[in-house]
Every structure is written in C-alpha cells, then in structure tokens.
Amino acid sequence: MSISRFYTDLLSVKIDKITFEDLKNKLALIAVYVGEKDVFLYETNNSKLLKKLGKISRRHNLQTAITKFPLRPYVREPKVPKFFVTDFLEYSLRYRVGHSALCVYKNNSIREKIGDCLANERKLGILLGYPTCCVEEYVERKVRMIEVFYDGLVKKYRPKSREEIKQLLDADAEVPIELSDNVDKTWRQLPFVFHTACKACLSMESSASSMLNLRYEKLALSVSKHFHNEILNAASALCTRVI
C-alpha cells in the first residue's frame, strides 16, 4: 500500500463539515500511516462515518478501536463552588450524548496506552504528539474557562441559588467570556499542526510547534502539491472569516 492509495481512499469520506478540519483530519491519518504520529482520535455521533474510516484504515494495515471519552478531571481544583463543577460537567456532556471516538494506530503497544490516556488530559495530549508546553497551557485554560464562565454567569444574572444556576445552564444562558485561546493565531501561523499552539510557541520561530508544522507540511507536500495548497487555502479562508 502507498500514501497515494490511502489518500485516494480517504477522499471518499467527508470527515468534517468544515473543509479545513476535514483536510487536517486526513493529514493526521496519513501521519499515523507513515509513522509520523502515534495515534489518530476523532469523536462524533456519526457512527457510519467512524465505521467507514475504520474500514479504510484497516484496509491499509492500521489498527482501530472505537471507544468513548470518559470524564477527565481538571488538573487543579477550579476556583468555583464544588457544586458548579458537577453541574457544568453535566451541562457540557449534553453535547456529547451518543458520541463515540475512533482510535487509529499502527503499533499494538499504543492500544495499551489509549485507555489510560483517555482519562488523563495531560497524557492524552502527549500521546497525540503535542508539545508539553502546549498541553500544559491547554489544560490550564480548561480550568480558567469554567472559572471565567462561573464569574460571568454570576455577574450577569445574579442567581441566588444552585437551582437558578442549573436553570441558566439548561437554558444555554449567554455568558461573555474574554479568554484568548490562540486558535486563530495557530491557523494563521501553523496551519499544519493538529493542536492549538501555546503563546510561547507562537512567539518563537524555532518552537516545538513550529518544528511540527514544518514536519507535517512536508508530509502534506509528499501527498501532493494540491493537497498542501488545499490546506493553506482552507486555513486562509477560515482566518478571513474569523477577522
């Protein structure tokens, strides 16, 4: 089997509605295929898509498994009432009902790590090949997100009880959140990486994320110049929409 045949098979599947995400997921699968990445993970409620992707992957001698993401604990205790952590997680899980995740990997040794890593945010980021600095900023941002969300909810709506807070969550109450996530900057500067780069990586030319971007860009070029340009054009279009 060759990269070109694997890529051709992947063209028969629309992995994501957003073109940029669709192309990047295809690149991630190719990275696993050539040994540039240990594991590919994709979560969705579209079971037919997962089955089709799994079938294509196995046809090219890759290993697959379908699993579910467990709740992953925060890396530190959020500075919010404990009941809110529980309620916020329940609120977040509503959007993942019926979701499963496809794992694609090449080496059987990886399968043994997957279960443990799925339950640990840091371990999962490292397994996926993300720089430690970016993983640390991401897990801390998840804690800050719930803190900022709680503060914004209380400030805007002045709830007087836990029940009122739950009602606001159930109603998808809008909460202004000012918390930079570096997503659009990553799209602009490092369109070939599979993670959101941290501030340090985005400020240095020779950062760990920059090196990964170069590596995956070279991989995209090895597939075809057209595929490489498609990713750049999709990233540019997405960034234009964000502005």
Tell me which residue of 207, 26, 218 sits closest to 134, measured CA to CA.
207
More reliable by pLDDT, 97 or 55 = 55
Confidence category of residue 241, pLDDT binned at 50, 70, 90: low
Element (H, E) at 101: strand 100-105
pLDDT, position 177:
79
pLDDT in tens, 182-198: 888 999 999 999 999 99
pLDDT in tens, 129-161: 999 999 999 999 999 999 999 999 999 999 999
pLDDT in tens, 57-96: 999 999 999 988 777 778 899 999 999 999 998 888 887 7
Contact between residue 28 and residue 55 where contact means Cβ atoms under 8 Å apart: no
- When the pLDDT of each residue in the chain is averaged and rounded to a whole number, the result is 92
| pTM, full prediction | 0.91
pLDDT, position 2:
85
pLDDT in tens, 37-54: 999 999 999 999 999 999
pLDDT, position 117:
85
128-164 burial: b if 16+ Cβ within 10 Å, else e: bbbbebbbebbbebebebbebbbebbbeeeeeeeeee
Residue 108 has pLDDT above 90, yes or no: no
pLDDT, position 243:
44
